[in-house]
Amino acid sequence: MNATNSLKDKCNANSFKKLEELDNKLLLEWLGDCVQLCQPESVYVCDDSETDAEYIRQKALTSGGEKALATKGHTVHFDGPKDQARDPEHTAYLLPEGMTLGPFRNTIERQKGLKELDDLFKDSMAGKEMYILFFCLGPTGSDFSIPCVQITDSAYVAHSEDILYRRGYQHFKKVAAKEAPFRFLHSAGRLENNVSQDVEKRRIWIDLGGMRVYSINTQYAGNTVGLKKLALRLAIKKAHQEGWLAEHMLLMGIHGPEGRKSYFTGAFPSACGKTSTAMLPGETIVGDDIAYLRKRDGKVVAANVERGIFGIIRDVNPKDDPVIADTITKPDEIIFSNVLINKDNAPRWLGDERPPPEEGMNFYGDWNQGLTDVHGNEVPYAHKNARYTLRLNSLKNVDQALEDPKGVEVKGIIYGGRDSTVWLPVQQSFDWQHGVITMGASLESETTAATLGAEGQRKFDPMSCIDFLPSLLADHLDRYLSFSKGIKNMPTIFSVNYFQKDAKGGYLTAMEDKRVWLKWMELKVNGDVQAKKLPTGYIPLYEDLEKLFRQVLNKAYTKQDYDQQFKLKIPEFLEKTRRIIDIYKKQATNIPPAVFETLQAQEKRLKETQQEHGDYILPDMFG
């Protein structure tokens, strides 16, 4: 039986008719190949209808992949103790023999990798239903749009994608024959209690030659929701070829005086304040995770790739994240993952500002206080990387431009990570090149629970996308630097750091203080405030911050606060600058000369300032 006939044999008449109407022979052949390989019991094809969306929701419940909670529309999914985060060790690019992406990324020879995938996927869906879904990255009907097809045997994964992405069957019908879609094949593998069991055989492999992604023996959404970080890798390659940027960035509107609104993008590694920044009270959110940036009519414009949020729920509470906290406690279509479910059939998570539960069910199974794992370690009542999945239009602060096919003009770009010692709360770059290199390309962050491995390690993460680059880092930097060509007024680049600590380990800024840093940036890009020039960039004037703290937070901001937060620590800054220079020297590839020129120029400025003023310099020492 040929591949297409195998596909037809597994579909009901309505499902196969949906595929025929796409009029795409190559797609049918690929889908048929996947059916022959995975051998599902049946195949269900989704279009854009609410009927198909409801079918997936119900299958998620009846299969046990999700469980209904007390609040209408709320469900919970558990991934199991060994499947709780992205898995960099088993995420790799399939490359032709002789091709390299340099350090920091795993690669495997393409034919060898495809052979192993054939072995892993063989009969992986036996006894299960295969779901075929069509989505669109970016608003449909725009130059941001990329058609995608997802195959999965997990109704939870399919349900998650329906919340997070725009349904794209109709868009697919219009463009799929003209434009090669991104393709994703996923199987949860062998299940026990709806948890993937063979996690030691977990694979998340990206085939750049075929613009396809394969994932197996996992259900954690960061490894399986194809259109998220997996698609980002494909989109970056496409962007490099076509002259635009696909970025791991939030997109938000910051509201200024007299009804003004300025749009900013921002790149933050996981658990570094990205979603909480995008969700700040008083501002509006277009997206919290991935944005496409294009040049149009002499401006940089951006759109959110997604229509939903797959957010870390830890520490979400009414005080620090009021919009999210309000949304996830009301009836709506929301998936919670790896939280605890208490006796009232309601979710609990770490940092929710309520008394700890005594018992319940979590990612480990039945849980009670004092429970330990096989190694004698206490099991927390919820996982540090527990999540919520919801649609952006559920939020009262969603921006009206979310579905605008034209996108929005970008006035500023923010880079931020976890840095307890070096970076200041907020700085503005001198120009595009200085910002790209000393802020974006120098981004480091102390690791968290969102990635498997030890916490608290300093990770080099340029543009917060090192894990997602499908090219040499040198090529990505070159595309970034050349992106400014033809644009008179490029977005202003800023760095932020919400995680400065004092000598005793206490944070120097409160969580809500980021509202002030963003308001200052909005004023700065519109020319409403001045700044002090340091060797590393521009910082706010004390008078402006004192006024903003009163206006925005109704909070006193003292000169002592300012001096402590914006004190320039030259030895630490020099150490970081040299460390970044050494990292780029070890790349052994064609790093753009501007990288070394810009970093060495900053190093020179720091040394000259150190000779004149000493190691630790208060802001008043600068003009």
Indicate left, alpha or beta for 315 from its phi (over 0: left) and psi (-120 to 50: alpha): left
One of 11, 136, 272, 465 is an active-site residue; which one? 272
Cβ neighbours of residue 500 under 8 Å, at least 6 residues apart?
A: 419, 420, 421, 423, 424, 425, 507, 508, 509, 565
User: How many angstroms from the chain centroid is the CA of residue 480?
Assistant: 19
Indicate left, alpha or beta for 434 from its phi (over 0: left) and psi (-120 to 50: alpha): alpha
Nearest to 412 by CA among 519, 525, 517: 525
Nearest to 91 by CA among 196, 220, 193: 220
CB 216 within 8 A of CB 207: no
**Cα gap 135→197, rounded to integer Å:** 29
Dihedral (CA of 259, 319, 274, 185) sign: negative
**Long-range contacts of the stretch 372-377 (C-beta < 8 A, 24+):** 373/81
Nearest to 312 by CA among 220, 201, 429: 220
Nearest to 595 by CA among 587, 1, 161: 587
Q: Which two tokens stand for residue 209?
A: 């030659």
Given the DSSP bridges, would you call strands 212-216 and 182-187 parallel, antiparallel or unpaired?
A: parallel
**Cα gap 546→317, rounded to integer Å:** 27
38 catalytic per annotation: no
User: How many angstroms from the chain centroid is the CA of residue 49?
Assistant: 28
Amino acid at 295: K
Q: Which two tokens stand for residue 575?
A: 């150490």
Helix or strand run (H / E) with residue 257: none
Amino acid at 344: D
3-state secondary structure of 239: helix
Nearest to 363 by CA among 127, 549, 195: 195
CA dihedral 561, 566, 571, 574 (to 10 degrees): 160
CB 573 within 8 A of CB 606: yes
For residue 602, the tally of other CB atoms under 10 A from its CB is 23
Catalytic residues: 272
